[in-house]
Amino acid sequence: MRVAVYYSNNDIRIEERPRPVIGDGELLVKIEASGICGTDCLEWYRIHRVPLVLGHEIAGTVVEAGKGVKGYRVGDRVSASHHVPCGKCRFCRAGHETVCDTLRKTNFDPGGFSEFVRIPKINVEKGVYRIPRSVSFEEATFIEPLACVIRGQRMAGPVKGKTVLVVGSGISGLLHIQLAKLGGAKKIFATDIAAPRLKAAERFGADHAMNAKDYTPEKIKSLNDGYLADHVIICAGAKSAFEQALRSVERGGTVLIFAAAEKDALFPVPINDIFWRNEVKIVSSYAGSPKDHIEALKKITSHKVNVYDMITNLFALKDTGLGFKLVAEAKDSIKVIIKPQG
């Protein structure tokens, strides 16, 4: 079968590999669509482990089911979690499934930028989701990223009646905007450095979208009765995004760190201004739990979150390198999806 192998952001090679052989309790899925995540382009995070077949936002059709598989059969349209928690450890029992050791060790064979993927038994048991006919394979690739957003906002707390600032209007930022609007946010602000993404932010629900290059917290105050944002969600990894976030949160507010920063990034926090007198809460969120994926699928199926209009580029497997280039540049594209069967 053909696979797109990652060596660097600028070096994606189409290679031939044997089609995976499944065992008991496993599934073989023919990949129909696989989204490129911004983290796929975190070169510093990937480069020491290359070559890799990436792709964790998958949707496809079951073509083989191993002995003992229950609930799934050949022909089923499915999505799957590449990482799944054990459900039993101290972290899972405390509601922190995404820091579970098992979750961090599980994965597909190989990644979704390939024609076929083997889904291991534990993933089949804890992280496979049947896709309704009303949901396209392309839309289903949003289940994983939306699950991450759902978890992030749950960790940060309810947004109903509050002012929200989303720093960075890429795919994650736009999903956060939609979810915050759905959650009853009073007013939503968004920033980015790319004009097309600022327009997209407004299209998907932001009340005000501002260029990050000339943004100041005073702009929020002028549009928000003199107050800063109650919730600030960081969806960009630049140091300036973190600076912008901490300067923009109101007393008693919350900052959600959703994006990864550069390798070994350090950021000085003004302790007295943020923590001592202002009671600002800083929380982080990583990945999504099985229940987050199930909720994401429900929101996509019901069209409460519009993911279809976020798709800007579809590429055949042979053009995966071009897709990575667009995502790494973070300019005009929003969601780039690879179609391995094309």
Ranges assigned E (strand) in the chain: 2-8, 11-16, 27-35, 57-65, 77-80, 116-119, 128-130, 163-167, 187-192, 208-211, 229-234, 249-257, 281-284, 311-316, 335-339
Q: How does pLDDT run across 46-78, given as a tens digit for each residue?
A: 999 999 999 999 999 999 999 999 999 999 999
| Domain definitions of the chain by residue range | 2-142+307-339, 149-284
Q: Hey, how many other C-beta atoms are within 10 angstroms of the C-beta on 291?
A: 13
Phi/psi for 164 (5° steps) reads: -120, 135
Q: Given this model, what pLDDT does residue 322 score?
A: 97
Q: How does pLDDT run across 301-328, given as a tens digit for each residue?
A: 999 999 999 999 999 999 999 999 999 9
Task: Give the pairing type, strands 187-192 and 163-167.
Answer: parallel
Put simply, whether the predicted model's pTM sits higher than 0.85 gets the answer yes
Q: Given this model, what pLDDT does residue 6 score?
A: 98
Please give the Cα distance from 279 to 272 (Å, whole number): 10
Please, which pLDDT band fits residue 268 given cuts at 50, 70 and 90? confident
Which CATH fold topology does 2-142+307-339 show?
Quinone Oxidoreductase; Chain A, domain 1 (3.90.180)
Average pLDDT over residues 121-139: 98
Q: How does pLDDT run across 277-298, given as a tens digit for each residue?
A: 899 999 999 999 999 999 999 9
Report, in angstroms and rounded to the nearest whole number, the Rg of the chain calculated over CA atoms: 20
Please give the Cα distance from 119 to 106 (Å, whole number): 10
User: Is residue 332 over pLDDT 90?
Assistant: no
**Which one of 3.30.70.120, 1.10.10.10, 3.30.70.890, 3.40.50.720 gives the CATH number of domain 149-284?**
3.40.50.720
Q: Given this model, what pLDDT does residue 150 score?
A: 98
Please, which pLDDT band fits residue 273 given cuts at 50, 70 and 90? confident
What is the signed CA dihedral for 96, 141, 12, 105, rounded to 10 degrees? Answer: 30
Q: Given this model, what pLDDT does residue 274 score?
A: 79
Residue among 167, 325, 184 at smallest CA distance from 257:
167
Phi/psi for 35 (5° steps) reads: -80, 145
Q: What angle do CA 54, 95, 174 make, to 5 degrees?
A: 50
Q: Given this model, what pLDDT does residue 211 score?
A: 97
